[in-house]
Amino acid sequence: MQRFLSIALALVIGLTMSLDANAKRFGGGKSMGSAPSHQTSQMAPSAGAAGVGGAAATAGAAGAAAKAGGASRWLGPLAGIAAGGLLASLFMGGGFHGMQFFDILIMAIIAFVIFRFIASRRRKQQEHMAPAGAPYQREAFEQPAQPQNAIFGGSAPVAPRREINAPAWFNEERFLEAARSHFMALQQHWDANEMDKIAEFVTPQMLQFLRQERASEGDGFQSTYIDNLHVQLDGLDDRADKTIATLTFSGVAKNSRFDQGEAFSESWNMERPQGENQPWLVAGIRQNG
């Protein structure tokens, strides 16, 4: 019985950590592509826009993540080493001596249950991130709305010196809601290594950078969780050939629900060709600090 429990423990640790240890955000958390045209201002979302906890909770989460982020990144490798050491001790100490077919069958069942649990947890996370009652769609970005004087955040302080040269059809509130959904959708496609779907959201040049970065992380499925996501429009410029926008995203990225994660802030360079029903495409990403 003791031998069996040791084997089961090693299997659980190895399978769990191998899936979560090396997960990274969309783009690998790197700067790439065309740099955004506008400066990034300090994020200052209102309690309503924050979704969970408001600005004070975000600051607390970011501080905790900054302190614990470094340690949490080492949990996976350390656990993997521990699991490897446990298996080595079993091999060297004769822990597998006399193993029967029934033992192997039980181990296979345990592995299957673990994989099913992780897959179920991932599905629940995707359902939690998706807007209630509606899957991610491109139409929110593509279809111009009637002009409105919507200001993101309501009671939140307006970012200083924003450069907003918007066309008549632009709706800032709707644009920010769609940006939030697209951020989550791209993270899901990145985790699943679905580059064909990512190609619908980015420029061809940006896609080449992303393909190289994702290939460097391997073909396996990743698991990334984004908490306290805030979106802010830093600037918008309506030019003769295209409309350019700079969006800043901030939040906490986690490899699993059990770690405290790491705070991030990055700005996206968004481009939209002139014409009706044209899509907004990600042309570049800049890490802020």
Rounded to 5 degrees, φ, ψ at 238 are -95, 105
Q: How confident is the model at residue 199 (pLDDT cuts 50, 70, 90)?
A: very high
How many Cβ atoms sit within 10 Å of the Cβ of residue 261? 25
- In the chain, where the domains are located: 26-70+131-287
pLDDT of residue 145: 46
How many Cβ atoms sit within 10 Å of the Cβ of residue 203? 18
**Range among 66-75, 76-85, 209-218 with highest mean pLDDT value:** 209-218
Q: What average pLDDT score do residues 71-89 get? A: 49
Own/partner long-range contacts of 238-244 (Cβ < 8 Å, ≥24 apart): 238/165, 238/166, 238/167, 238/170, 240/274, 241/273, 241/274, 242/271, 242/272, 242/273, 242/274, 243/167, 243/170, 243/271, 243/272, 243/274, 244/37, 244/269, 244/270, 244/271, 244/272
Give, in order, the Cα–Cα distances in Å from 212 to each of 114, 208, 259, 264: 31, 6, 28, 22
pLDDT of residue 149: 44
* CA–CA separation, 164 and 137 (whole Å): 25
pLDDT of residue 61: 41
Q: Which residue has the higher pLDDT, 206 or 86?
A: 206
Comparing 53-67, 183-197, 260-274, the range with the smallest average pLDDT is 53-67
Q: Which residue has the higher pLDDT, 40 or 90?
A: 40
- 219-247 per-position pLDDT tens digit: 888 989 999 999 999 999 999 999 999 99
